[in-house]
Amino acid sequence: MFLFLVNYFFVFSEPVFRYGYDYGFYHHTLQHLGNLGVYGVWGDYTNALFFLNYLFGLSPEIFLTILLILGSTTTAYFLYKYVPDKKRGLSIAALFLISPWNLEMGYQFLLKTALGLPLVLGAIYFYEKKKYWHVILMLGLLLLTHRTSLIVAAGVILVDFIIRQRSIRKISLAILGGAALAGIGAYLRPDLVSGILSNNNKYVGAGIFLFGQNIWVIILPLIIGLGIMVWNTYKTNIRWTVWGTGSVLLIIWLILQLPFHNRLVPYLAIFLLLVVAGIKDKRWFVGIASATLVFNLVFTNQLINNKSPIATEEDVIEIQEVTEEYKPTVIAVDANDATALWAWALDSNVVAPGLFGDDKKYEDWKNFWENRDQINFLAEYKKPILLYQRSYQIQGDVDKCLEQVSNHFYLFDCK
């Protein structure tokens, strides 16, 4: 309970929506849930659990925060239950709860990741128990909740199954089965495939994650633990685990910078924690767990000190009042402000670099930011047009066409 309160102090001390970048996506979806139909069950920014709020009638802030905490704490509980040695299991669960990557899920409001992680653990657990119908059920739930988690779980299970087989027939069937599932997914949701492969915003395609290049430093002790497992497997012929397979696959994914690679850090960290939990030598386990604890405390403290809200209470009121008055096309000059507008500018058409169906290329936005053809760029949108300039102030020829109507909103009107 103490670790739970420490980890989620930021939730109780200040509204999480002020920091969570992805929060705006989910808030917007909850506000429009009744208009989504079937798409509302498995669309980009929704979840089948959202329909429970019809029963509870909670505010989006409270309901979404409950789901975030539920996902994270369920993952910690599964980690505890999965490790046979309960002392080690408690240590692994605690290291996850007070980790910077878990806190980052809160600050970025990675709700689908938080809800997908326990299902990934469940799918792999049933795979190890050879309860394949349960695996299919878990993968089906992931299909409805989070495609990235589905790719991680299915990919790890498929690769681990292949490397354990000596039968060419079984290997061929596994590969064909994986290809068939991928094909079915692409057929059912071609928009997801095209969105991943052709997103115009390179930062969105990579998956925004605050740590950036510090990722490898943060998980360094756990990487050492993976190295010990590899060495022990080679020298003593102990059984290679599925968590080792998952760790290697995700490390390759991050190194190759495949789509959404930054968002895979929580999955990699959890797989590495379970690898460390399986180290036979108690001294090595204690040493790596202790080093991970120190790294967690250092980087968690750094994250807390460097946190910056995406919207203050005053910002939320401003967005609601101004957009209600103008009902405009709202252009977020900087993508950092996009989700706050998406959450609270409910009667407006929100435009942002690489988001919300934006058809502009990155080069088009770069030209706009660098004062090249700014007026023609804005003139293509439906009037009235408001520019939201909170994180970034645009400069150039467009200045003569802007009238400030509030603290951060500027009306575009070139006659």
| Sheet hosting strand 329-332, strand order edge to edge | 349-351, 329-332, 385-388, 409-412, 402-404
- Cβ pair 278, 243 in contact under 8 A: yes
Q: Identify the pLDDT of residue 170.
A: 53
Residue type, 142: L
- In degrees rounded to 5, what are phi and psi of residue 120? -60, -45
Q: Where are the alpha helices (DSSP H) in 257-373?
A: 265-277, 282-306, 313-326, 338-344, 362-369
Q: Where are the alpha helices (DSSP H) in 129-146?
A: 132-145
Q: Identify the pLDDT of residue 203.
A: 45
Could you report the average pLDDT of every consecutive run of 10 residues in the chain (415 residues)? Answer: 49 55 82 54 63 76 84 90 88 88 82 90 90 90 84 87 65 53 52 48 47 65 74 65 84 77 83 86 85 82 74 85 86 84 84 78 82 83 86 80 87 79
CA-closest candidate to residue 82, choices 149, 146, 114, 128: 128
- Cβ pair 228, 279 in contact under 8 A: yes
* Structure-token pair, residue 376: 């023609």
Peptide bond between residue 84 and the one before it cis (omega within 30 degrees of 0) = no
Q: Identify the pLDDT of residue 199.
A: 44
Q: Where are the alpha helices (DSSP H) in 189-219?
A: 190-197, 202-206, 215-218
* Structure-token pair, residue 194: 């095209």
Give one DSSP letter per residue of 31-78, joined into a string. HTGGG-TTHHHHSTT--GGGGGHHHH---HHHHHHHHHHHHHHHHHHH
pLDDT in tens, 184-225: 554 455 555 445 444 444 444 444 554 545 677 777 777 777
- In degrees rounded to 5, what are phi and psi of residue 186? -65, -35
CA angle 134–136–140, rounded 5-degree value: 115
Number of CB atoms found within 10 A of residue 43's CB:
17
Residue type, 104: E
CA distance 285 to 380: 60
Domain ranges of the chain: 2-164+199-306, 313-412
Cα–Cα distances in Å, from 376 out to 1, 332, 398, 414? 57, 17, 10, 10
Burial classification of residue 382, based on how many CB atoms lie within 10 Å of its CB (0-12 exposed, 13-18 middle, 19 or more buried) = exposed
Q: Identify the pLDDT of residue 11.
A: 46
Q: Identify the pLDDT of residue 206.
A: 47
Number of CB atoms found within 10 A of residue 393's CB:
12
CA-closest candidate to residue 388, choices 347, 324, 345: 345
Cα–Cα distances in Å, from 240 out to 83, 121, 279? 16, 17, 11
- Cβ pair 296, 99 in contact under 8 A: yes
- Cβ pair 230, 279 in contact under 8 A: no
* Structure-token pair, residue 142: 């992931």
- Cβ pair 279, 288 in contact under 8 A: yes
- Cβ pair 63, 30 in contact under 8 A: yes
pLDDT in tens, 164-175: 766 555 555 555
Give one DSSP letter per residue of 175-197, joined into a string. HHHHHHHHHHHHHH-HHHHHHHH
Q: Identify the pLDDT of residue 205.
A: 46
